[in-house]
A and B are shown apart, each in its own frame.
Chain A
Amino acid sequence: MERLGVDIGGTFTDLVAQDENGQLHTTKVLTTPEDHAEGIMTAIAKAGIDLGKTELFLHGSTIAINTVVERKGVKTALLTTRGFRDVYEIGRSNRPEAYNLFFERPRPLVPRSSCREITERITARGEVHTPLEAETAAALVAELKNAGVESIAVCLLHSYANPEHEVALGQIIGSVHPKAYVSLSHRILREYREYERASTTVVNAYVGPVVARYLASLQTRLRAKGFEGEVLVMQSGGGVMSLTAAMQAPVRTMESGPVAGVMGAASVAGALGYRNAIAFDMGGTTAKASMIKDGAAEIAGSYYIGGYSTGHPVMLPVIDIVEVGSGGGSIAWLDSAGGMKVGPVSAGAVPGPASYGRGGAEPTVTDANLLLGLLGEKSFLGGEMPLDGRAAESAVQSRIAHPLGLTLNQAATGIIRIVNAHMALALRAVSVERGEDPRDFALVAFGGAGPLHASTLARELGIPVVVIPRIPGQFSARGMLVCPLRRDYVQTLLRDFGIVNPPEVAATLRGLIQEGLAILARERRSRNSPPQVECALDLRYRGQEHSIAVPLVGQQFTARDRLAVSNRFHELHMSLYGHAAATEPLEMVGVRVTVQVPVAGGDFGDSAGVVAKGGGLVEPHGRRQAYMGERYGFIKTPLYHRSDLAPRTSLPGPAIIEEAASTTVVLPGDRVTVAPTGELIVRIAEGEKA
């Protein structure tokens, strides 16, 4: 075995192993929330993996995010500039649930009594206004130590412009309370907005010791089984980082599973020649969409752990994922005015959809798909879990069809149309709403339910091609195998762009690039590929707030580049928002640098291990009545096992292709072809409407 990808989700721990021949092996075990490493070791044993031969262990888990959501972090203190300790509790004072008189505000992870102030002040220009009072600071740290504080977050005003006081405070903590876990805000991010930076730093401090202990224990257990390779941890921003780095900045690893899926989608699309794609991941509870442009996933600058209304902001790069509460388990219901709704409440795994026969009485999307013949009673989850069609019928009939005076089929198609409409909005949000034409994109669909809905959604948006990768049901673990080592930096540098000093910009870029390259050099001992560096400037019209990252050609910025960068900004503004103002002055907000180096191997585009049982002609193993959309209605549709389809096999729709953890629906008029590397490529007929 060469490498493992392990993704710990809420219910299942997925393991994907790739051996030296490139062949993939998958294993699924139940997650063990009390001790996540336990589930991993079980999966490794079940898969029969020899850790002594494993070179790389790529890992994503929900442990960091769950520690925040379940509030199970360590006793943490926050040190701030004098006069500003309450910024963390005041936050932005907003009430997103505007008409709710019983709205809640985010609950701080650090109580007010543990938010303490340090005498010091730095100005917006990075000048020292009040020097740091080292002695009183040391006394305060001693007090925190005696109070049993395990972890200390430090967020001083304007530390993005000048970190010297944070650095000094870090040294004081190191000498007074050497066992404390220390998080300095400027080490985590270098952007202005003190509340968001403090929140990010606090999240890091709060989960740090928990994550560090977990990773250390995981490494020890792997080593005990003979593992001598490297553990790399999935980052929210799309790359992986070393175990040591993840222990220091676990806040960068909050969102791992969904992100790995998007990275996998970008990679598989690229290998098939699609530079632009939309990743579409539909599971039991939610559906997620992300845009991949020119081979790279789009990145957002911040997100909220626990949702926008009451969540904790984290101002770090995260793969930009638009999520809607639409999954196989989403429940269909009627509001008291008779409006038909689907989701966001999900029946989850327990009791699950009515057809699971585990006592669920609510009709779900899975039940509707079953009634419409798109899922098979006997073939669900590779036959491991037969579905109960009668239970599905009774749920849809009693909760939806009867009260609305609809037939069973009308109710079931209604549920599917509504859930597809929600997901289409998510797909539009990442494409049309960003000025991108979906007709230029491929849709890469995965997750248990993604391949079932993908072709209908592609028609809805006018997307010409759908790609169903191999092992779509465990695609996140698969995606980890392709993630590069990566660091993202954003440095606030507010300047009038018309009179910007190019050497200053160039020096800032150079500093970030050098830092990133040095870290990557330490993280990866074997260097097979040269690192890639990408630089951009965040620009806006003076007076605006939101900026646009304008990529630089190369790693330099000189006076000669200013005009080209300005022009590119106007173009981007026009394409994103439909207007631009070429004569308006520009302002630079900051610079950004991304450095990455591929972790060699693990790529898609490798045909190794693609099973080729059949020849060019495949006979269906059965047929059933299945609903193929409004235009065609029910058609007796041929059924295939995916494992029977050899590369280059080509089949016309309608067809249903089943595999262990997923089902692909090919609509009439469309044609599916098996790629040499095993993916299903569905070409959508032109002019077909969903």
Chain B
Amino acid sequence: MKSRVDPATLEIVRGALVASANEMAMVLSRTAYNTMIFEVQDYCIGVIDPAGRLIAQNSGGLPIFLADMGVAVRDGIEKYGLSGFEPGDAIIMNAPYICGQHLNNMVVYSPCFVGERLVAFPAVRAHWLDVGGSRVGFGSVETTEIYQEGLQLRSIKIYRGGKLDENIWQIISDNIRFPESSLGDLRAQLAACRLGERRLKELFERYGVDTVNVCIEEMWNQSERLARAAVAAIPDGEYTAESYLDNDGQELDKTVPVKVTVRVRGEEMEVDFSEVAEHVRGPINCGPSGGIAAARVAFKALTLPSQPVDEGCFRPLKVVLPPGKFLSAGPPAPLGLWSIPLPTVIDTVLAALAPAVPERIPAAHKGEMGGFAIYGKDEASGRRYVCLNMTGGGWGGRPRGDGPNAAVSICQGDVRNTPIELLEARYPLFFDYFSLRPDSGGAGRFRGGLGVELAVRARYPAAVNFNIERTKCPPWGLWGGRPGTVGEARVERASGLPGESVTKRTRYPIVPEDRVVFLTAGGGGWGDPLEREPEAVARDVRGGYISSGEAADYGVVLDPATGEVNLKATETLRARLRRERKK
């Protein structure tokens, strides 16, 4: 295990690199101007080497932003050449088919020099509230080509040698809604990059550029060794699973298949997306780096869930992704909802591996992002507003316990919902209830977690973007567990008109009397419901997590007066249900 560098220095450099990324994240999140950054944490900080490889990433932030900023920086390196950067430069980048994501995700990075030598690029990706185009907020399913989705900025130097290019600033300012918000975010991103430059420079100077570079190489090697050992523990084989998305938002009756093959050979894993759907007309496509990120999230969860993220973690992973799939779309495919399919893709990769490592794979989770957008004009202040929020849903039952209730998707990590009090203080909205959704968790020996229900009204006429997914392919159970209840949205008309169930709609108009209800999915169950501890079923009924009617699905009979388990009647019922199954 002897390495080329003193192990204490290596550990100190590793800690300092992650700390510099975390410090940049603090500056960004505390000074950003939109909830997508400070509440939803829709951002990512990376330290990229001069070859475009990820040295370190901030802890926290969105899981789906996994070691995928290197491609953005690499494009700039190719465009300008390493000698084409000078101190004080800052580059802005959102080229869709390189970054793989919607145009709102703006990358800003800058070169860090030690003397004449370019040693690294601190980089910040953040979700801007608006980048122009036809969409307001998020969740629009209307776009069919990228030009409708806003401003494209491919590796543009917004600062040259410390001097702002006012023309570019103005082009951005003139072409987006809420420029004070997005330009505020841009300032925060720039400040974070400048801070990163200082911190990295201190580190490289302190230990010497060559020593730090040796440490970085060794960090990658160590991460690689750990990942290889984790893959080696998974039995070799070829594993397949299949699921599908409801539609692309355009052709509503056409599902989008997600078929994944995972090959494990010794210390290496291959995730093969060759059989997923071709790119689609609606905006749920992503570029290849989005598809790769999805495979990486599943891989990371199975190999090194608590290890800091760097380039080495993914060396044993190969992703097969031919061009032109909906996970590897090219121009001019729309990418506005690029991340919506990814929880499903990740769940499908995990499902494929369930037979290989049954003790490590939960049943499917809610499988969508739980986001909505409500926008309009606050007639009291005269200002336009966009309210974006995320809600949790049920996670799948696990080999060792029930699935958690009301948690954000596998792509979202430390993403938080926004407090009701804060939403009502900031926007002209009024919430009627926000509660768990009883009976939504799939039955199983270990029950799926519950989704949530949220009911909201607008004080003035407003518009809503709905984006409900996975209503046709519910969160599946494993090993006899039942699927969770699917998500739903309803508009209830107080005017007496019949309400409407809505899945995907953009700019749906509502008036103050209307009530919009969002219901998120529950998780799938794990294992046979008839094997659930009867006492756990009684506890669920007492807590209102399941109704007493649902208890019968578990073959559990409760005393109607006390709510206690009637063990004898339960045994009889379970025996009968087992017999009936065999028929």
Contact = CB atoms under 8 A, between A and B. Distances in A.
Interface of A: 82-87, 89-105, 111-113, 123-124, 129, 157-158, 160, 192-196, 334-342, 403-406, 410, 413-415, 417-418, 421-422, 425, 428-429, 433, 492, 494, 496, 541-546, 573, 576-579, 581, 584
Nearest to B412: A95
Interface string B420-445: 11101110001111111000000000
Interface in B296-330: 297, 300-301, 304-306
B1 interface: yes
B406 A339 contact: no
B289 interface: no
B513 to A, nearest CB: 15
14 contacts: A93-B416, A94-B416, A95-B412, A101-B361, A101-B410, A105-B405, A123-B430, A160-B421, A341-B11, A414-B7, A417-B8, A541-B33, A543-B34, A578-B195
B301 A100 contact: yes
B11 A421 contact: yes
A659 to B, nearest CB: 29
Closest 7 interchain pairs by CB? A93-B392, A98-B413, A83-B433, A338-B1, A414-B8, A337-B222, A543-B33
Contacts of B435: 83-86, 90
A2 B407 CA distance: 54
A124 B222 contact: no
Given A414-B6, A417-B12, A336 B414 contact: no
Given A544-B31, A544-B33, A124 B425 contact: yes
A194 B15 contact: no
B43 to A, nearest CB: 13
A84 B420 CA distance: 10
A523 to B, nearest CB: 31
Contacts of A428: 19
A354 B60 CA distance: 35
B305 to A, nearest CB: 4
A541 B184 contact: yes
Given A94-B413, A99-B301, A339-B11, A105 B404 contact: yes
Given A96-B60, A433-B26, A340 B7 contact: yes
B301 A418 contact: no
Interface in B1-15: 1-3, 6-12, 14-15
Contacts of B417: 90, 92-93
Contact of B19 (A101, A417, A425, A494): A425
B487 to A, nearest CB: 14
B3 A338 contact: yes
A339 B38 contact: no
Given A83-B433, A94-B416, A337-B226, A422 B30 contact: no
Nearest to B455: A83
Given A192-B425, A340-B11, A417-B12, A578 B392 contact: no
Contacts of A86: 406, 434-436, 452
Contacts of B344: none
A96 B433 CA distance: 26
B452 A94 contact: no
Contacts of B12: 417-418, 421
A102 B32 contact: no
A84 B223 contact: no
B79 interface: no
Which of A93, A123, A403 counts the most B-chain CB atoms under 10 A from its CB? A93
B545 interface: yes
B39 interface: yes
A113 B455 CA distance: 22
A98 B63 contact: yes
Which of A102, A104, A418 counts the most B-chain CB atoms under 10 A from its CB? A102
A104 B10 CA distance: 32
Contact of A93 (B191, B391, B425, B543): B391
A90 B407 CA distance: 8
B413 A96 contact: yes
B1 A124 contact: no
B494 to A, nearest CB: 15
Contacts of B424: 123-124, 158
Contacts of B229: 336-337
Contacts of A543: 33-34, 180-181, 184
Contacts of A429: 19
Contacts of B297: 99
B288 to A, nearest CB: 22
Contacts of B400: 102
A433 B390 CA distance: 30
Interface string B17-33: 00100010011011111
Nearest to B29: A546
B222 A338 contact: yes
A413 B226 CA distance: 26
Contact of A99 (B1, B32, B300, B415): B300
B542 interface: yes
Nearest to A578: B191
B421 A103 contact: no
Interface residues of B, number: 92
A579 B190 contact: yes
Contacts of A579: 31, 187-188, 190-191
A195 B419 contact: yes
B104 interface: no
Contacts of A157: 420-421
Contacts of B16: 421, 425
A419 B180 CA distance: 44
Nearest to B189: A579
Contacts of B305: 97, 99-101
Given A83-B432, A543-B34, A578-B195, 4 more contacts: A95-B412, A99-B306, A194-B420, A405-B1
Contact of A405 (B2, B181, B194, B398): B2
A569 to B, nearest CB: 12
A339 B7 contact: yes
Nearest to B544: A112
Contacts of A113: 542-544
Interface string B81-95: 000000000000000
B421 A124 contact: yes
Contact of A425 (B10, B15, B27, B413): B15
B19 A111 contact: no
Which of A103, A160, A403, A544 counts the most B-chain CB atoms under 10 A from its CB? A544
Given A334-B1, A581-B184, A94 B408 contact: yes
Nearest to B296: A99
Given A83-B432, A94-B416, A545 B39 contact: yes
Contact of A101 (B6, B195, B226, B362): B362
B493 interface: no
B202 to A, nearest CB: 10
Interface in B68-123: none
Nearest to A98: B413
B472 interface: no
Given A403-B1, A577-B31, A90 B8 contact: no
Given A86-B434, A105-B407, A546-B38, A193 B180 contact: no
B254 interface: no
A93 B407 contact: yes
Contacts of B377: none
A596 to B, nearest CB: 28
Contacts of B7: 338-340, 404, 406, 414
A335 B226 contact: yes
B35 interface: yes
B412 to A, nearest CB: 7
Nearest to B415: A94
B416 A337 contact: no
A578 B31 CA distance: 10
Contacts of B9: 417
A96 B430 contact: no
A194 B223 contact: no
B535 to A, nearest CB: 14
B27 A578 contact: yes
